[in-house]
Amino acid sequence: MSDVVRIKRIIDEAYDTKTFVFDWDAEVRPGQFIMIWIPGTDEIPMSVSGICEHTKSITVKAIGDATKRLHEFKEGDRLSIRGPFGNGFDLSDKNVLIIGGGVGTAAVMPAVVQTGADTIIAARSERDLIMLDRAEKHAANLWIATDDGSKGFHGNAVQLMKEKLKEKSYDCILACGPEVMLYFTYKACEELGQDCQLSLERYMKCGAGVCGCCVMDDKRICKDGPVFTKD
């Protein structure tokens, strides 16, 4: 099902990242994604970064033709979207630690807002951090990590996660970020016997599990994911 929505507000998150808020009444779960059609360019998957009753949002880092074109859109412009698609995060555990790396922070932010859980936000540098205002407002505790040490913990998200797991136990880790971050998050959780849910990313065309573009082993990221348990 396709809908045309109007961009209500645009928020500058960082030098290369914007959040687009639009009117949309659809029911969306944290961790789900939508397909955005950019006429003349491409149709791309984007995680839903904000969930309110009558508005939703996506957070876009300008890294390719489609996302750079999206950055040219203005308030009042219209977007053609399909969705929502995929399996979101299971938020039934009460005691979770949420980790967002880079623009992957956008995918976990609705879970932060809904749960108020402890949260780690990580990026390469202070200028690459996004959505800190929302995390500071909703997270019980917010810890920041930067690779270059320009803000918060000097190191990456997984290193900071290991430090926090020495201080407190959690039922589950929820994470989204660069694949290398998710790989080492998974490895650390395996070693520590820690449960986790990871939101993965692959190139998608249909979003509904038909085309096979996003298959990883025997799993379709769009249909069976994008959120996967440790198992």
**Mean pLDDT of the region 51-62:** 96
Instruction: Indicate yes or no: pTM above 0.85.
Output: yes
d(CA 62, CA 208): 25
User: What value, to the nearest 5°, has the Cα angle with vertex 43 and ends 39 and 47?
Assistant: 125
**Mean pLDDT of the region 183-191:** 97
Q: Are 193 and 202 in contact (CB under 8 A)?
A: no
Min mean pLDDT across 60-64, 110-114, 184-188, 211-215 is at: 211-215
Q: Is the dihedral of CA 95, 101, 106, 107 positive or negative?
A: negative
Q: Residue 204: pLDDT above 90?
A: no
Q: What is the pLDDT of residues 73-125, one digit of tens each?
A: 999 999 999 999 999 999 999 899 999 999 999 999 999 999 999 999 999 99
Q: Residue 132's pLDDT is what? A: 97
Sheet with 153-154: strands ordered across = 153-154, 142-146, 118-123, 96-101, 172-176, 196-199, 227-229
Residue with tokens 């489609």: 66
Q: Which residues contact 49 (CB under 8 A, 6 or more apart)?
A: 19, 57, 58, 59, 106, 107, 109, 110, 131
Q: Are 197 and 208 in contact (CB under 8 A)?
A: no
Kindly indicate the confidence band of residue 58, based on its pLDDT and cuts at 50, 70 and 90.
very high
Q: Are 120 and 40 in contact (CB under 8 A)?
A: no
Q: Residue 1's pLDDT is what? A: 60
Q: Residue 173's pLDDT is what? A: 98
- How would you classify the pairing of strands 33-38 and 78-85? antiparallel
Q: Are 12 and 133 in contact (CB under 8 A)?
A: no
Residue 223, φ and ψ in degrees, nearest 5: -100, -45
Domains and CATH numbers, the chain: 2-85 (2.40.30.10), 96-199 (3.40.50.80)
What is the b/e burial string over 85-122, where b = at least 16 CB atoms within 10 angstroms of the residue's CB?
Answer: bbbbbbbebeebbbbbbbbbbbbbbbbbbebebbbbbb
d(CA 150, CA 127): 9
Q: What is the pLDDT of residues 21-47, one digit of tens each?
A: 999 999 999 999 999 998 888 899 999
Average pLDDT of the chain to the nearest whole number: 95
